[in-house]
């Protein structure tokens, strides 16, 4: 069936309109796509530029921190307190180097924090340098003052050498004269009846007697006398009351001791040694001491 000419004209006009609308839509979509591509390219370029810039900032900051680390490593002092502080600051710088190397350049908050820490560590280092310079200056002054003082002291020493020798001689005489001495030192063995005996099987205690001689130069006041009693084999006799004392820079054990009030006048005293399980035959020796001097030695023979 033949198409009506009017209808055909209407159809062709409609097709032309629809085709034109489609081409217009396609052109619009192509234009939007082009704009989006340009925008994305611009954004990518901007982001790449920013990342590169941040990487450069991180690199520069890292180099500054490592340079500061070198400066800290080269800084030294003769003062223990400052060296201790320097060690702490060196550790902080090393940790900062490690942290920035592990941090992404895009983490701007962290990078800014590291910049502040770098500034603080620089300020601290300048403070160390100032302290070291001040102390070195003071040390040089003290060294010069000490040298001058030594020179002056040497001159004074030469000028007063004779007087010093006289004083030392007199001091030595006074010191020797002030030592407490004893006389009449002896040791006896006693039995259960509290009588003197020389039978070893009957001995239950030993008694040491002596007299501290008069000496007005000696120190007044309480003084402790120590005795050391040795058996025939040279073994020191001790019990639960044993004490220690110092004599001639050496610590010694005493068999027994007693304190007396010495006022420069002669003092007689006795010191018992009890609670010894048994006594063998032979010669027993007693030595008496103060912490300043040995007072004497005595012996007793047990049969």
Q: What is the pLDDT of residues 115-133, one digit of tens each?
A: 888 888 888 878 877 787 7
Q: What is the pLDDT of residues 67-102, one digit of tens each?
A: 878 888 877 777 787 778 878 888 888 888 888 888
Higher pLDDT, 4 or 139: 139
Give the DSSP H/E element, type plus range, for residue 27: helix 5-74
| Lowest pLDDT segment from 1-5, 19-23, 188-192 | 1-5
The span from the CA of 11 to the CA of 23, in Å, is 18
Where does residue 32 rank: exposed (0-12), middle (13-18), buried (19+ CB within 10 A)? exposed
CB 62 within 8 A of CB 101: yes
- Mapped onto helix, strand or coil, the DSSP state of residue 295 is strand
Give the pLDDT score at 211: 94
The span from the CA of 134 to the CA of 82, in Å, is 12
Superfamily holding 179-302: Immunoglobulins (2.60.40.10)
CB 191 within 8 A of CB 202: yes
């Amino acid at each position: 069936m033949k198409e009506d000419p009017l209808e055909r004209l209407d159809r062709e006009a409609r097709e032309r309109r629809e085709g034109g609308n489609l081409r217009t839509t396609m052109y619009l979509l192509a234009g939007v796509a082009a704009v989006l591509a340009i925008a994305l390219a611009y954004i990518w370029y901007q982001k790449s530029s920013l990342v590169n810039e941040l990487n450069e900032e991180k690199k520069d900051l890292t180099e500054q921190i490592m340079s500061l680390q070198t400066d800290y490593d080269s800084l030294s002092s003769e003062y223990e307190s400052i060296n201790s502080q320097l060690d702490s600051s060196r550790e902080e710088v090393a940790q900062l180097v490690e942290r920035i190397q592990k941090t992404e350049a895009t983490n701007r908050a962290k990078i800014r924090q590291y910049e502040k820490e770098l500034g603080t560590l620089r300020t601290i280092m300048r403070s160390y340098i100032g302290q070291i310079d001040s102390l070195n200056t003071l040390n040089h002054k003290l060294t010069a003052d000490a040298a001058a003082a030594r020179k002056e002291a040497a001159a004074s020493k030469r000028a007063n050498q004779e007087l010093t020798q006289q004083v030392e001689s007199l001091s030595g005489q006074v010191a020797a004269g002030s030592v407490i001495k004893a006389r009449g030192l002896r040791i006896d063995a006693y039995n259960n009846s509290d009588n003197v005996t020389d039978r070893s099987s009957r001995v239950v205690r030993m008694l040491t007697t002596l007299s501290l001689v008069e000496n007005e130069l000696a120190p007044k006041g309480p003084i402790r006398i120590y005795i050391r009693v040795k058996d025939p084999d040279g073994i020191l006799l001790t019990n639960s009351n044993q004490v220690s004392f110092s004599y001639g820079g050496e610590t010694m054990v005493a068999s027994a001791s007693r304190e007396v009030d010495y006022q420069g006048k002669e003092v007689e005293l006795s010191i018992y040694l009890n609670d010894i399980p048994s006594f063998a035959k032979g010669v027993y020796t007693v030595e008496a001491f103060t912490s300043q001097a040995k007072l004497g030695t005595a012996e007793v023979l047990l049969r």
